[in-house]
Amino acid sequence: MTNFIPSLVALTSKSLVGLSPIFAQATGGSSTSQLQQGFSTALGILFMFGFFWGVIKIWSGANAISKGDADGKMGIVAGIIIAGAAAIMGALFTIFNLSGAILTPSF
């Protein structure tokens, strides 16, 4: 019986399809930009769901306040933080001079 599972040495010395080696320390090139584009797309989708979740949270907090529940205020605050997470994090990164680490969410 033949073992078809490639070893770690085989993966680091050459890739399975004959392309460049697979290293975590790869710099520049199209592979890094593709990874950055993938993270930007995932971040955009995450922020889209987060925004809608935050709006629903704000709505439910306002509804709880209208029924006399004191915990509705915390729901509104939580909804604002969830819905505005992208803007809050972007502002914090800019304030601390880390603007190069900001990814622009894409859809």
pLDDT along the chain (107 residues), means of 10: 51 52 57 79 86 92 91 91 84 82 73
Distance CA 90, CA 103 (A): 9
pLDDT value, residue 93: 83
- The predicted pLDDT at position 30 comes to 67
Q: CA torsion 31→35→41→46, rounded to 10°?
A: 170
The CA distance from 91 to 29, in Å, is 29
Residue type, 73: K
